[in-house]
Amino acid sequence: MVNMRAHLSNCTKSLFVTALLLFLTATSSAMAEDWPQWMGRHRDNVWREKNIIESFPEDGATILWRCPVGGGYSGPAVANGRVYITDFQPARQPDETANQAKNSRGVERTLCLDEVTGKLLWEHSYPVNYTVSYPAGPRCTPNIENSRVYTLGAQGDLQCLEANTGKPKWSRNLASDYSTKPAIWGYAGHPLIVGDNLICIAGGPGTLVVALNKYTGEETWRALSSSEQGYSPPVLINAANTPQLIILHPEGVTSLNPTNGQEYWTVEYQATNGSIIMSPIQSGNLLYAAGYSKKNLLIRLSDDKPDATVLWRDLPDAAISPVNVQPFADNDLLYGFHQDGILYGVKFETGARIWSSLAPLQSDRPLRTGTAFIVKQADNYWLFTEQGDLVIAKMNRNGYQEIARAHVLAPTDVAFGRKVVWAAPAFANRKVFLRNGKECICVDARRPHSVENIRN
């Protein structure tokens, strides 16, 4: 009888442990979140998952897998257990400075990888002749919605593929369809899905921005003209209880009705050399836009109707004028890398700089166009630097405080005489997905679970 009771007790304990582990696994899965487009599901660079590590193992970050890829500045996107990435395969083996040359022939590819193993599931390719500067590869992160994946290449090749197989659904070339040409650094404005439309920065007279039916690729509406198309992705905001599509272009900031392209308002902006790259950032009723060189603009959005007024512009030694990377707004503060590579903390409403730091890029001097991507997770910030480091840090009005750092990727591209990696990361399902010009990797960021104090 004693043995039978002990056996039943052990069975009960085993069943309890099994049930607890299943519960933890189910809870973990339920709280997991994909990263299906540039800057994440909500295009805000917020990593909403919990149970994330706050330091790296002593021997460095845990790399779960590596997969060879070609060149590109486009980041990975993660959805439904798959990783999507675009790259460029040149017809001939490039030398070290090939990413600064023009007229590179080859193919642009979309690769679909298994999220767990990194195994290649399918690839789709098409021929391309690069006429752009820095022709390392595509710039735009894939955008996945349900069974479709959308990609935009450096020369304007827009593709809609079946997400499970890579089979083409439709394709267009924005440059030829709209009688224009790529900007000097190529098409870089990540397309945005709004309802049944895919919003794209196309360029051309009257077609700076176009809405295409996401199912068929047929044009729904077109709007605006600008001397150049720029590189800034469209963004959807809500102000005065009205959805507004904000387009930052070399000659202005414009608000459009996302349904039909009707213009609500425009504020003048004059980009230097057509270089406008960041996507406008909203904080309450304020909207911030900036670019090279020291061109910055703060707009107050009207409360009662779609309208806007300028609060200040082109502060010479204040605010943040980013080049490669999106700043991050946190309540009344703005954090970001200025064109000189210095990280600044700035008061959003006034543009006043309250602190600066060279620490993220580990340089004793400012690095021209120095770049680190910024993503917030709970009370921490994750940075992915151009040197290939993952950094966990805290930022507030008192400054920048580094918590942990791990080198995970080698910089493979050349810019301003130094090696860099300039591809946005993806944070999904408690993992970090990163790429350079040679490989895509998956870094484990899960905080280990432990089952303790299980008693009779």
pLDDT digits (tens, 9 = 90+) for 89-102: 999 765 544 455 56
Taking phi first (over 0 means left), then psi (-120 to 50 degrees means alpha), and beta for anything else, what does residue 389 get? beta
Contact 255, 306 (CB under 8 A): yes
17 contacts 11 by C-beta, under 8 angstroms = no
Tell me which residues of the chain have a pLDDT lower than 50. Answer: 1-30, 96-98, 450-456
Helix (H) or strand (E) holding 174: helix 174-177
Q: What is the pTM of this model?
A: 0.91
Instruction: Check if the beta carbon of residue 179 is closer than 8 Å to that of residue 189.
Output: no
Closest C-alpha among 259, 267, 260 to residue 286 = 267
**pLDDT value for 93:** 63
Name the token pair of 414.
């050349």
**pLDDT the model gives residue 273:** 78
Secondary structure of residue 354 in the 3-state scheme: strand
Residue 12: predicted pLDDT = 42
Report in angstroms the alpha-carbon separations of 152 from 90, 140, 171: 18, 6, 10
Nearest to 292 by CA among 191, 221, 193, 369: 369
Whose CA is closest to 373, among 337, 321, 338? 337
Task: Select from 407, 371, 438, 442 the least CA-distant residue to 137.
Answer: 438
- Whether the Cβ atoms of residue 219 and residue 245 lie closer than 8 Å to each other: no
DSSP labels, 300-343: EEPSSSS-EEEEEE--TTSS---SSS--EEETTEEEEE-TTS-E
pLDDT tens sequence across 67-79: 999 999 999 999 9
Neighbours of 81 (CB within 10 A): 11
